[in-house]
């Protein structure tokens, strides 16, 4: 068995054990394979091992891989910061966007989504770590943003996403994920129905699943250590 197939199997095992430990059904937790920095060949290997959903942070890099793998039935998720001049290509080429944090960007994505394509599925990225990170809407502003995004015709608001600062203990890490879950529950109580919590990465997916993650975004544990630019 090649290394990516073995690593994928190990990650699926971690997800299943964490779900069972939390009293949840393993199929409730989807695996998004984060393929940023890895060539199309690696994505293809993961596909041959049964993985179809892939996350990318950089548009140009993602477009190259999509082109190379155009024959495969892959589902692409955009998970990186969104510049407004990239919204058209993102809306045209991806199925999901996890990193919406401003109304202006959401409007542009909705305008650019083709009428004959299904609505673009989106998550709002929330800054659950306060001053420590800059990306994401603040917890105080998420309800207002959710109301705006829910009105946009070519977007389907599905949930919330967060990348908490790494913290030294599992307990502390879990508190960040709990905050995101509680925000989702608050929005649902306000009549905004959401079914997705995109949280948990290679290092902390167990803590995220314990707090209700429905999609974990895993790169390193599948593909190996990236050489950061």
Ligand X SMILES: *Cc1c(COP(=O)(O)O)cnc(C)c1O
Q: Residues interacting with ligand X, by CB under 6 A?
A: 34, 36, 57, 79, 163, 201-203, 217-221
Min CB(146)–ligand X separation in Å: 20
Query: 19 vs 34, which CB is nearer to ligand X?
Result: 34
Query: 209 vs 218, which CB is nearer to ligand X?
Result: 218
d(CA 97, CA 80): 9
Min CB(151)–ligand X separation in Å: 26
Query: 126 vs 201, which CB is nearer to ligand X?
Result: 201
Residue with the CB atom nearest ligand X in the bound state? 219
Query: 65 vs 154, which CB is nearer to ligand X?
Result: 65
Query: 123 vs 187, which CB is nearer to ligand X?
Result: 123
Min CB(37)–ligand X separation in Å: 8
Min CB(189)–ligand X separation in Å: 27
Min CB(28)–ligand X separation in Å: 19
């Amino acid at each position: 068995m090649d290394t990516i197939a073995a690593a994928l199997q190990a990650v699926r095992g971690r997800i299943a054990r964490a779900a069972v430990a939390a009293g949840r059904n393993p199929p409730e937790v989807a695996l998004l394979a984060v393929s940023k920095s890895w060539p199309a060949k690696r994505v293809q290997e993961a596909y041959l091992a049964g993985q179809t959903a892939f996350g990318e942070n950089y548009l140009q890099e993602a477009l190259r891989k999509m082109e190379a793998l155009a024959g495969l039935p892959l589902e692409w998720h955009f998970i990186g910061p969104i510049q407004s001049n990239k919204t058209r290509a993102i809306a045209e080429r991806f199925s999901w966007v996890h990193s919406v944090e401003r109304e202006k960007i959401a409007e542009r994505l909705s305008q650019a989504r083709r009428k004959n394509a299904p609505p673009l599925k989106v998550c709002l990225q929330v800054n659950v770590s306060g001053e420590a990170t800059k990306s994401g809407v603040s917890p105080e502003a998420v309800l207002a943003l959710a109301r705006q995004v829910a009105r946009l015709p070519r977007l389907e608001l599905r949930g919330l996403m967060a990348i908490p600062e790494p913290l030294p203990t599992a307990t502390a890490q879990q508190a960040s994920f709990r905050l995101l879950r509680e925000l989702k529950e608050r929005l649902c109580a306000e009549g905004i129905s959401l079914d997705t919590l995109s949280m948990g990465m290679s290092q902390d997916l167990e803590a995220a699943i314990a707090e209700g993650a429905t999609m974990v975004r895993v790169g390193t544990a599948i593909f190996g250590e990236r050489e950061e630019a």
